[in-house]
Amino acid sequence: MLINKWLITESFSEIRHHQLPVALLLALDKEPVEISELYNTLQKMPQRSFSILLSGGYVPPEKISDTYVEKIIGTFFQPCYYLDNYHPVLFLDGSSLASTSFCSRLIEKCKMQGLQILTLEVKNRQGDFETNQFAYKLPSGYINYDAIVKNWLCQYLEKKNPSEIHLLLSETQRAPTDIINVEQSLAEQESYKIANLFHEKQKLIEEYEHELDLGKIAEKSAQLYLTMQKEQTLTNVDWYYREYEILPGWYKKFGHLIKVLTGKRTFRSLFSNNAKKYKH
């Protein structure tokens, strides 16, 4: 969807009880202990209904263990984790988080597992349109959808590849009347209709590109398999000539005679190519 709403929560146990997709708030300086409880909960949630919101200021690198990084990466592989163009979306509450060593370690470890993540810095002001990232955590109950959508449209027309629009809401903002009324009227606005069409077009393009990438990977795998088979066949043929064909003729005939005496080969096959060679 062009516009996605997320409900911020800090509790593992309350995740499944919300109708909106959930953004789990994790503090950078506080590693979750019972991560297995979270995994069990996530496996029962619908697809694309969960993401992580990291918060906190500067934390010394030695204070953050590798297990914390691995726990977060583990959630990316859950079926319910939200993906944008097949990339897990990670929200960062604070511009300083993107440059921390924690995020660098997280991105590096994801690359080692063939995973590319999308980090979005959450903005706390509606008028902050300096980047092509559209993730907001706004204190006010009223959200200026019109300004956000029009700016998204400008970013798209300027080919700046804007992200989807994400609105992270607190418990008190989950369904205020003014937001519902604005959302209902938004669908009738021309700017939203155009932006939504562009977004759907972009998603189709991304889907086709993904299928092409999968086709290229499958082709490379098939070529690699054929190359390995060819090399193995050449190795077998080379072994045959080096180990068997170089043997003298009398030695080979003596071997055939032994097969006859042991009952593994018929006697007539020694004198006729048309006779059955082996009994079994």
Q: Sign of the C-alpha dihedral, residues 245, 251, 254, 258?
A: negative
Asked whether residue 102 falls in the same domain as residue 213, the answer is: no
Residues 6+ apart with CB under 8 A from 66: 105
Q: What is the DSSP string of 149-168?
A: HHHHHHHHHTT--PPPEEEE
Asked whether residue 111 falls in the same domain as residue 193, the answer is: no
CATH number at residue 149: 3.20.20
Q: What is the pLDDT of residues 158-178, one digit of tens each?
A: 888 888 989 888 876 655 555
Q: How many structural domains compose the chain?
A: 3
List the domain range (segments joined by +) for residue 266: 247-280
Would you say residue 240 has pLDDT above 90?
no
Asked whether residue 225 falls in the same domain as residue 130, the answer is: no
Q: 47 — phi, psi (to 5°)? A: -65, 150
Would you say residue 203 has pLDDT above 80?
yes
Question: Which pLDDT band holds residue 207 (cuts at 50, 70, 90)?
Answer: very high
Asked whether residue 194 falls in the same domain as residue 97, the answer is: no
On whether residue 207 sits in a domain, the answer given is yes
Asked whether residue 228 falls in the same domain as residue 113, the answer is: no
On whether residue 66 sits in a domain, the answer given is yes
CA distance 72 to 32: 10
pTM of the full structure = 0.73
Question: Which pLDDT band holds residue 213 (cuts at 50, 70, 90)?
Answer: very high
Asked whether residue 280 falls in the same domain as residue 153, the answer is: no
HEC assignment per residue over 75-94: HHCCCCECEECCEEEEEEEC
Structural domain ending residue among the three candidates 150, 169, 187: 187
Asked whether residue 142 falls in the same domain as residue 15, the answer is: yes
Asked whether residue 172 falls in the same domain as residue 194, the answer is: no
- Please report, rounded to a whole number, the percentage of residues in the chain having pLDDT higher than 70: 81
On whether residue 109 sits in a domain, the answer given is yes
- What's the confidence (pLDDT) of residue 179? 59
On whether residue 242 sits in a domain, the answer given is no
Q: What is the pLDDT of residues 45-104, one digit of tens each?
A: 888 789 999 887 666 767 777 888 888 899 999 999 999 989 999 998 866 665 567 788
Would you say residue 130 has pLDDT above 80?
no
Would you say residue 211 has pLDDT above 90?
yes
